């Protein structure tokens, strides 16, 4: 039997009675939009991240577009972001009407390299949007210091890092605003699309709440341009059940990651480009992905597949190299490390309910595939 890349069914089975009861309660209540579970979830997520305010929204994409809109970022403005992320990061900046300015990554963490940010700042720069990729928070102290010096907003893309620790704080509570995703395969996922926005700023929260509801202060009275960005009650009910187990899941993911990294020690002697993920001191990753690097990725991936271990490439191209973005938002700065990563990263199966046998199977397959791929 192959190991699944991510096993959402075993997680559902572990939580089935709780999830089913909560969904049934919403079905019986009739409050399918803006039901009491929405506010309950928002309070619990805010408390869990240590953020003052939380707004549940319809997707991770909305969770980034709405803060940009609320901060008045749009036409003629620039937002500095990483070159290496899922396309939604750059997409939201363009949707808001602004221009993404791509900065290279630190090839050890795959997050934006803070040392390269200042060179990308222009009089048009309004904000920095770092991504906490693969589950590890970006170098937020350095990023916040640059933002402060140049009077910029910081919006953390926490789509992959909900619950991750950064020093004594958590992802989402570190910046002007932050947006996360509850897409099913994200560390905290619902059973459809979903997301949440975090901020400590009361006024910004009020504006974002209005934008979420078609820009209305009260019903049928629209004082600003908005969107339909609500998260439905059933998804909130599912997330309330999942949140009860989330801290355990993060621990489980960390144990699996430690087992992988310990078992892969020495593989860099076989493939000099082989590397296991580096988690910086003071960080705790939530392991949205466990991503290694190899020289011959195609051969490595094929061999893993043959051995019953599926893998995925996050991401095969940098954002500014994607066809639409290359044409409309070309990169201005050197992105050598991001392009290198796009050629060499590969993610292994990672989910909290992975059994010891499944982990052993992944480890054995990776060792064999590394040996195989250097000779291919």
Ligand X SMILES: *Cc1c(COP(=O)(O)O)cnc(C)c1O
Which pairs with CB-CB distance under 8 Å and at least 24 residues apart come from 183-186?
Answer: 183/59, 183/60, 183/159, 184/8, 185/6, 185/8, 186/60, 186/159, 186/160, 186/162, 186/288
What is the 3-class SS of 26-58, one letter each residue?
HHHHCCCCCCHHHHHHHHHHHHHHCCCEEEEEC
Chain position carrying tokens 């392009």: 339
Distance of alpha carbon 63 from alpha carbon 119, whole angstroms: 28
Report the nearest approach of ligand X to the CB of residue 372 (Å): 30
Which residue number, 195 or 277, has a Cβ lying nearer to ligand X?
195
Which residue number, 76 or 316, has a Cβ lying nearer to ligand X?
316
Which residue number, 159 or 309, has a Cβ lying nearer to ligand X?
159
Which residue number, 193 or 271, has a Cβ lying nearer to ligand X?
193
Look up residue 25 and give its two tokens.
Answer: 């309660």
Report the nearest approach of ligand X to the CB of residue 114 (Å): 18
Distance of alpha carbon 24 from alpha carbon 26, whole angstroms: 5
Q: Binding pattern to ligand X, positions 308-347, x when CB under 6 A?
A: ----------------------------------------
Which residue number, 131 or 250, has a Cβ lying nearer to ligand X?
131
Report the nearest approach of ligand X to the CB of residue 307 (Å): 27
Report the nearest approach of ligand X to the CB of residue 158 (Å): 8
Report the nearest approach of ligand X to the CB of residue 314 (Å): 8
What residues numbered 150-189 form the site for ligand X, per CB under 6 A? 157, 159-160, 181, 183
Which residue number, 84 or 372, has a Cβ lying nearer to ligand X?
84
Which residue number, 86 or 153, has a Cβ lying nearer to ligand X?
86
Burial 46-66 (b: 16+ CB within 10 A, else e): bebbebebbbbbbbbbbbbbb
Using CB under 6 A as the binding criterion, the count of chain residues that bind ligand X stands at 15
- Contact between 233 and ligand X per CB under 6 A: no
Distance of alpha carbon 100 from alpha carbon 128, whole angstroms: 9
Report the nearest approach of ligand X to the CB of residue 197 (Å): 12
Report the nearest approach of ligand X to the CB of residue 93 (Å): 11
Ramachandran class of 18: left when φ > 0, alpha when ψ lies in -120 to 50, beta otherwise: alpha
Report the nearest approach of ligand X to the CB of residue 349 (Å): 17
What residues numbered 46-65 form the site for ligand X, per CB under 6 A? 59-61
Which residue number, 155 or 365, has a Cβ lying nearer to ligand X?
155
Position of minimal CB gap to ligand X: 60
Distance of alpha carbon 328 from alpha carbon 107, whole angstroms: 26
Beta bridge partner(s), residue 321? none
Report the nearest approach of ligand X to the CB of residue 128 (Å): 15
What residues numbered 190-209 form the site for ligand X, per CB under 6 A? 193, 195
Distance of alpha carbon 101 from alpha carbon 14, whole angstroms: 43
What residues numbered 68-127 form the site for ligand X, per CB under 6 A? 85-86, 88-89
Which residue number, 136 or 181, has a Cβ lying nearer to ligand X?
181
Q: Determine the angle formed by the axes of helices 297-306 and 356-375, rounding to 10 degrees.
A: 140
Distance of alpha carbon 353 from alpha carbon 308, whole angstroms: 18
Footprint of ligand X on this chain (CB under 6 A)? Answer: 59-61, 85-86, 88-89, 131, 157, 159-160, 181, 183, 193, 195
């Amino acid at each position: 039997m192959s190991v699944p890349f991510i096993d959402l069914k075993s997680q559902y089975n572990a939580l089935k009675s709780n999830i089913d009861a909560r969904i049934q309660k919403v079905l019986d209540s009739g409050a399918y939009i803006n039901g009491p579970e929405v506010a309950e979830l928002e309070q619990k997520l805010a408390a869990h991240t240590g953020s003052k305010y939380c707004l549940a929204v319809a997707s991770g994409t909305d969770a980034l577009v709405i803060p940009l809109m609320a901060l008045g970022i749009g036409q003629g403005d620039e937002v500095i972001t990483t070159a290496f992320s899922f396309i939604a990061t750059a997409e939201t900046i363009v949707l808001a009407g602004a221009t993404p300015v791509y900065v290279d990554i630190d090839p050890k963490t795959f997050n934006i390299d803070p040392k390269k940010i200042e060179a990308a700042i222009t009089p048009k720069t309004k904000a920095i949007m770092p991504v906490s990729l693969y589950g590890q928070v970006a170098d937020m102290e350095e990023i916040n210091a640059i933002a402060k010096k140049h009077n910029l907003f910081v919006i953390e893309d926490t789509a992959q890092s909900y619950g991750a620790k950064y020093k004594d704080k958590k992802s989402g509570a570190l910046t002007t605003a932050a947006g996360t995703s509850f897409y099913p395969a994200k560390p905290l996922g619902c059973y459809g699309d979903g997301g949440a926005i975090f901020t400590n700023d009361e006024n910004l929260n009020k504006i974002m709440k209005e934008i979420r509801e078609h820009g209305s202060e009260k019903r049928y009275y629209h004082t600003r341009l908005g969107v339909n960005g609500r998260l439905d009650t059933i998804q909130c009910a599912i997330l309330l059940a999942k949140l009860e187990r989330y801290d355990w899941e993060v621990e489980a993911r960390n144990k699996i990651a430690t087992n992988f990294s310990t078992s892969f020690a020495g593989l860099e002697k076989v493939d000099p480009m082989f590397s296991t993920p580096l988690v910086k001191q003071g960080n705790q990753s939530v392991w949205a992905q466990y991503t290694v690097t190899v020289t011959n990725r195609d051969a490595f991936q094929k061999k893993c597949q043959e051995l019953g271990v599926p893998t995925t490439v996050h991401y095969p191209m940098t954002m500014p190299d994607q066809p639409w973005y290359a044409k409309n938002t070309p990169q201005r700065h050197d992105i050598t490390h991001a392009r290198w990563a796009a050629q060499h990263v590969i993610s292994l199966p990672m989910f909290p309910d992975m059994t010891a046998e499944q982990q052993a199977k992944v480890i054995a397959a990776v060792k064999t595939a590394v040996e195989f791929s250097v000779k291919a």
